[in-house]
Structures are given as structure tokens and as C-alpha cells.
Chain A
Amino acid sequence: MSDRPPVAEHPGHGPLLSSYVAHDVGERRLERQWAAVSARLGGRRARWPLALYAAAAVVAVLVALHFGLRPGAGAASLEGATLEGLGAGQVITLPDGAEVRLAARTLLRVSTWTERRVVLVVERGEATFDVPHREGRAWVIAAGEFDVRVVGTRFVVKRELGVEGEAVSVDVLRGRVEIVRRDAPDAPRVLAAGESWRRGGVPGATSGTPPSEEPDAAALALPTPAVSASAAEPLAAPSVAPSLSWEDLARARRYKDAYDALGPDGFAREMGSANAETLFRLAEIARSSGHLRDADRAFDRLRRQFRGDSRAGLAAFELGRLRLDSLHDPAGAAAALADAVALAPGASFREDAEARRVQALDGRASIPACESARDAYLARYPSGAHAAVVRSRCQPR
């Protein structure tokens, strides 16, 4: 391995053995690994800083238009602005970099927007917040009579008004938040990643009152919330609630929980209407939760139905690896790996794909097919990372 440190003496056992373990990770392999890691991280951020800045600039303009800001208006102009989810999964990036994903019919209001403090009020519905940490600035989400103080994290706040009163729930996907009843700020409840908290049927809520289309600032503005008769009650202990969607659980890398959250036949149902991004995510959930056949189906559909998508080649390659390493289907692996090369001939994983295809064809009935793949690999990568192994393959048995 090129990064191996100089041979050193192990204090207790003579030469350091790891210095003599050769394990080569070439640039192409590194590229392919990073591509897979990036895809799994969600690809929410652009790869290159320039692209990031350009995207941020576009988003900033859109946000400014969304909030009706005048050119030159300060950030304080955000106060009083509303954010409304018109469709499922609408994402808004705020000027400080925080991202808010709004569920359908969700309404948020910006109560405070200063350098030191941001307060967003959840008027109704459900929103997922991804808030980067910023020293000296407090981020607070107000939902009913509770405040959620943000440290730098990703979490979901939901506020529902029903016949039994108001229900507020918080699910933390990453990082940590503090929840406080606004009239008892010294007794916060800390929620860590993976924890959920729910408070339902708060007596002080307006039972059965449908949310107004326009926020009633007087009724909901901080810091003068309605105080319920149960204000002195301690906050309930956090519990792991099953309210997270499979998408949220997948983002939190709780793949087994995500698979379970799909429910009976849920995987097949979601696959039926999935786009390429969702198929890739479903495949990752299935693969990581041990449902390898489902992962096979999702990768396979992605590479067949979305051949123009940038993930198609990677999906075919992952499918080939899955079939070769875990499903013991060398014929299927060979087909998928050939498809990976066809779909993404310039991809960083091409050398690995071609080498693995030789491995998949080795020992099959058709030695000429194996030899052809072997020779193609050696012609393209005469000193490739797998050349020695590939050269030894396709021998008659």
C-alpha cells in the first residue's frame, strides 16, 4: 500500500507486521468509493465549492423572491414572513444555510430573525430542519407551548390540532436539541439523535379549531404563549417513537428500522412509483438491512428503467458486486458488470467492474467468454491493480 508508513519496530513483537501487509487502493478505487459515499450522504451538497456557491446564490435569489424581499433589504425583513409547503417535500434554504423541508400543507412563520436569535413558529404541519451550528446564534422552533432549541442538527417538528387537542412531536435525526416548556425554561429535556418526544392533547390548545390560512401573529407570537393548566408538569421522558418515515430513518442510517417502517409489501409498493434517487435509496436500505434480494431488485430496476440517470452505472456495478459477493450468482453478476461498463464507460469504477466480470466468468461453462473479458481487461489495464489476478483466470478445470 502506497500509504504504508516506513517499516517500524513493534515494541513487543519485533517488526511491525502491518508494514508488510500489501493492500493497494488505487485512485480509481478511491474515486468509486467516494462516489458511493457521496451518493449515500444524499448529494444534498455540490461537490465543488464553485458549484456550491453558484447553487447557494440561486437559492438565495429564490428565497428572496419567496419572501418578497426588496433589493438591499436586510435579513430582518424575514420577520413575519411565512413558509408554506405547497407540495410534499418542498425544501427551502434560508439565508444562514439552514434547510427546511416542509410537508404538504405545513405553515411556518418567522417570528424573530436577528444575528443572535432565530425563532420559527410551527403554525401547523410537519417540518424537517437541518440547521448548521453557528456560534453565538440561538435557533428556536416554537410549537404550541414548547420551544425546541437547536444546537446544530437535523430534526423534525410536528404540530397537529385534533379533536383531543394539540399534539406536538419532535424526532431528532442528528445532533441534539433541547425542548422546554416556554413557562418553565429551566427544565429542558435533551433529545439526542434517534430519540423522539411527543406530547399530545395539551389542554390549553384550541380543540378542533382548524388552522387559519394566515397565521394569527397575536395568538402565537413569542414570548406570550397561552399557558395551559398543566404548565407545571415535568416534560415526559423521551421515547423512541415509530413516527419517523422510512425516508427519515434512512437519512438517519437506521436502515433496519427504515425497512421495517416500509411495512408489509411496502418495499414493493415504494419501488412501483420510485424515481432513480428513491430506487437507489431503497436499494441501500435493503442492502444494509440484509434484504439482499430486494436490494438486487431495486438496483436492477434503476439500471434498466433509468439508463440516462447518473446513478445507473453505479447501480449496475453495485448490483454486480452484490450478486458476485453475496448472492452467489456469477452469471447475473457478469451481466450487471458488463452493463455497468456500458452505462458508464468513463466511470472511476470501470477497472474494478471489468476485473470483477472476469472473476464472475471464471469457472463458467464458456471459457472463451472469460478469456475475452480477461484479454480486454489486460489490454486496457496492462499494469492495473488487478492485472496479476486477472492474468491467472480462465484456466480450464
Chain B
Amino acid sequence: MATVTRLPTRPVAGPPDAELVASARAGDAWAREALFRRHARLAAGLAFRLLGRDQEVDDVVQDAYVIVLERLDKLEDPQAFAAFLATVVVRRVRRVLRRRRLARALGLLPALSPIDPDAFASSTAPPDVVAELRSVYGALERLPIDERLALVLRRVDGLPLEEVASLCDCSLATVKRRISAAEARLVASRSAPVEPTPAESPRVARGGRP
């Protein structure tokens, strides 16, 4: 796995992740809990920004932590725990979105209401930032899932393309193509009502923001 360096980490007190990972591998329960408490909010924030709503964030975070804590022995660089966790969070979000889309296509779930970025835009956000959030999230539910994930990681989290590619498990060329396609859809959505993509159900496409 490529090293992801610009994930939203913050300086922390206490032992470095590598030491916590080593202790957790040795079976120390407190080290597992410390790894959880240190990074859970960051994982939840990433999941929230990718999903655009709070509804399944807890499930994603819990699933991701169960996976990474049980697979610590696969982590080649123990200091890269946050990157490992972020990769798993992105995978779990992709899985949630796919399951949700399939269920809606089969009529098992009602159409989702469009994401309302005004509900989560910080009160300190300048008008241009709010407009940008509206632009991205207003069209998010209409985008194919892989394009959606790449777009949020690039436009919202501001990650370099290499790191977006790493988190999305794809090549740099692929992630560039996905982001370009997503950007094109955003532009189209500003000028005209967006037609549903082949990957999305018509019910979802009709539920977009005006």
C-alpha cells in the first residue's frame, strides 16, 4: 500500500502509532482502545464526507475498526495505521453505497432525499465555500460510486491525486479519469437537469436538487 501522508491527522500526545500497533499485536487491549480513540473521529469524519449524511457512519467506522484491529499483522509499516484505516473506511463506504444503490434499484429502499450541504456546512464557512459544498454534494448522489469517492477525496479532502488513487485502490490514470468525469457531471448539473447515469436508478436521479 502506498504511503498516505496528507490524511487529516493531528499532533497527538502519547506513544506513536507504531508502538500502539506493536502492543495491540501483542494482545494489549488498552493499545487497541488507544488506537480507536486516537483515530475514530478522523475515520468518522472521512466516512461522513464520503457518504454525505450521518446515517451509516457508525456502521462504517465500526466495521472498519473491526477489520483493521483484526488485521494489524498485515500492516507492513505500523506507523501507517491511519492510512491503513482510511483505506478500509473508503472500501466500507464503497460497499455501503453499492448495497444501498442495489437495494433502491430493487425497490427495497425508498429514494434517498438529496444531500443537504447546508445542514453540515460550518457556520464559519465563507459563501464561496458553501457554494462549492452545494455544488459538490448537490450532485453527489447522482454520480457513479467510484467517481463520487474520488471526487470527494480530491475536492473536499484536498488529497493529492496519488493518495486518492491509493485510497481508491486504483491507478493514477484511473483516478484522473474518474475525477474528470465527475467534474464534467458537476458542470452539466449546474447548467441543466442531470440525466440519470446508467449506474443509478431513475428514482434516485429524480430526487436531485434543483
Contact = CB atoms under 8 A, between A and B. Distances in A.
Contact of A132 (B10, B26, B45): B26
Interface stretch (B33-41, B140-148, B197-205): B33-41
B40 A34 contact: yes
Interface of A: 1-5, 8, 10-23, 25, 29-30, 32-34, 36-38, 40-41, 45-49, 52, 97, 132-133, 151-153, 174-175, 193, 253, 288, 290, 321, 325, 328
Contacts of B149: none
Contact of B158 (A1, A11, A52, A253): A11
A14 B156 CA distance: 11
Contact of B48 (A21, A37, A253): A21
A253 B92 CA distance: 13
28 contacts: A3-B8, A3-B10, A5-B8, A5-B10, A10-B158, A14-B129, A16-B158, A20-B122, A20-B129, A21-B48, A21-B49, A21-B120, A21-B133, A22-B122, A23-B48, A25-B41, A25-B44, A37-B69, A41-B66, A41-B69, A45-B29, A52-B29, A52-B30, A133-B25, A133-B73, A174-B73, A253-B67, A321-B58
Contacts of A288: 63
Q: Size class of B's contact patch?
A: 35 or more
B71 interface: yes
Given A152-B73, A153-B73, A34 B36 contact: yes
A16 B55 CA distance: 24
A145 B93 CA distance: 46
B56 interface: yes
Given A15-B126, A23-B44, A40-B62, 20 more contacts: A4-B45, A8-B158, A14-B128, A15-B128, A17-B129, A17-B132, A17-B155, A17-B156, A18-B49, A20-B121, A20-B133, A21-B48, A23-B45, A23-B57, A25-B41, A36-B58, A37-B69, A38-B33, A41-B70, A45-B32
Contacts of A32: 58
A49 to B, nearest CB: 5
A333 to B, nearest CB: 13
